[in-house]
């Protein structure tokens, strides 16, 4: 049994973002969310990618989803009404389906189009407390990602240590600066998490060292681990599918870093 009392630990409101596809955003969002919930926290994971990979990875493939985050963004449903339970106690999912592609177009003339998600989360939190809210972003810097950035207090950036990683990071930081300048001056960078890390690859170590010069990088480094890629097809986070695998242990460590009191 987990302890359901609300913890005094810090509240995380994070956008898991990187405009590159296939860098481990969804894997990080799903498994960190699950690991935080397994630590007894109440966690909300919002799927903002029309591909719905976070949803299917938690047992809710798009074909089985009724109301989704699309209905919330266009004002048809409250966030509370689309939440689905997950295989981990204390973890709730706001699912996504392919419909979400249309939201970008349908919202284009709405003056509050960039703050729809933030407003929906604020309403939800007034009567449903969560310790952590994570938003899994699509691989672009369009309106869906901007909504996630405006909705978050901080960003969590999964980074694959390859040659072009730093270049991609420069574009992402420029977008974050634009969001700060226009919509959300206090948006912070929580940190970077190194994903699919191959310790035998010299370039990976060089990129990691370079990134550490400029950004806070979590101690938890996520290794390349086949269990992480298998778990979604079972509709489970790796922390349930194979809790002792290297991937699960790494995400549990990341969750402990995210739920720890900040040292002053």
Kindly list the residues in this chain that would bind ligand ADP in the complex (CB under 6 A): 21-27, 53, 139, 195-196, 222, 224-225, 228-229, 232, 247
The helices-and-strands tally (H runs, E runs) of the chain is: 12, 7
Nearest residue (CB) to ligand ADP, 150 versus 222 = 222
Q: CA-to-CA distance for 69 and 208, rounded, in angstroms?
A: 35
97 touches which of Mg ion, ligand ADP, none (CB within 5 to 8 A by kind)?
Answer: none
| Contact partners, residue 226, CB within 8 Å, separation at least 6 | none
Q: CA-to-CA distance for 27 and 227, rounded, in angstroms?
A: 11
150 touches which of Mg ion, ligand ADP, none (CB within 5 to 8 A by kind)?
Answer: none
CB of 138 to ligand ADP, least distance (A): 8
CB of 46 to Mg ion, least distance (A): 13
Nearest residue (CB) to ligand ADP, 40 versus 53 = 53
228 touches which of Mg ion, ligand ADP, none (CB within 5 to 8 A by kind)?
Answer: ligand ADP
Residue number, nearest CB to Mg ion: 26
- Give the binding site for Mg ion (CB under 5 A): 25-26, 53
CB of 7 to Mg ion, least distance (A): 28
Whether residue 77 contacts residue 67, with contact meaning beta carbons closer than 8 Å, is answered with: yes
206 touches which of Mg ion, ligand ADP, none (CB within 5 to 8 A by kind)?
Answer: none
CB of 228 to ligand ADP, least distance (A): 4
22 touches which of Mg ion, ligand ADP, none (CB within 5 to 8 A by kind)?
Answer: ligand ADP
Q: In what order do the strands lie in the sheet with 132-136?
A: 84-85, 91-94, 43-47, 132-136, 12-16, 154-160, 188-195
CB of 19 to ligand ADP, least distance (A): 10
Q: Quick one: how far is CA 73 from the chain centroid? A: 18
Query: What phi and psi values does residue 47 have, to the nearest 5 degrees?
Result: -90, 115
| Contact partners, residue 260, CB within 8 Å, separation at least 6 | 9
């Amino acid at each position: 049994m987990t302890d359901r009392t609300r913890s005094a630990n810090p509240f995380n409101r994070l956008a898991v973002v990187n405009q590159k596809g296939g860098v481990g955003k969804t894997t990080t969002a799903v498994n960190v969310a699950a690991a935080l919930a397994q630590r007894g926290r109440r966690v909300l994971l919002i799927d903002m990618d029309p591909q719905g990979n976070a949803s299917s990875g938690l047992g809710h493939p798009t074909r089985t989803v009724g109301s989704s985050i699309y209905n919330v963004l266009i004002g048809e449903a409250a966030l509370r009404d689309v939440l689905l339970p997950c295989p981990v106690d204390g973890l709730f999912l706001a699912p996504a389906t392919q419909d979400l592609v249309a939201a970008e177009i349908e919202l284009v003339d709405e003056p509050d189009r960039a703050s729809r998600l933030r407003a929906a989360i604020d309403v939800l939190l007034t009567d449903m407390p969560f310790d952590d809210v994570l938003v899994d972003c699509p691989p672009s810097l369009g309106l869906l990602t901007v909504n996630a950035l405006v909705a978050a207090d901080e960003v969590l950036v999964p980074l694959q240590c390859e040659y072009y990683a730093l270049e991609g990071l420069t574009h992402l930081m420029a977008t974050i600066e634009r969001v700060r300048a226009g919509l959300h001056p206090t948006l912070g960078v929580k940190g970077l998490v190194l994903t699919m890390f191959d310790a035998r690859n010299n370039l990976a170590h060089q990129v990691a060292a370079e990134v550490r010069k400029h950004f806070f990088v979590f101690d938890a480094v996520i290794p390349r681990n086949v269990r992480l890629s298998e778990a979604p097809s079972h509709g489970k986070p790796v922390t349930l599918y194979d809790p002792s695998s290297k991937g699960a242990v790494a995400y549990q460590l990341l969750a402990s870093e995210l739920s720890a009191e900040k040292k002053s």
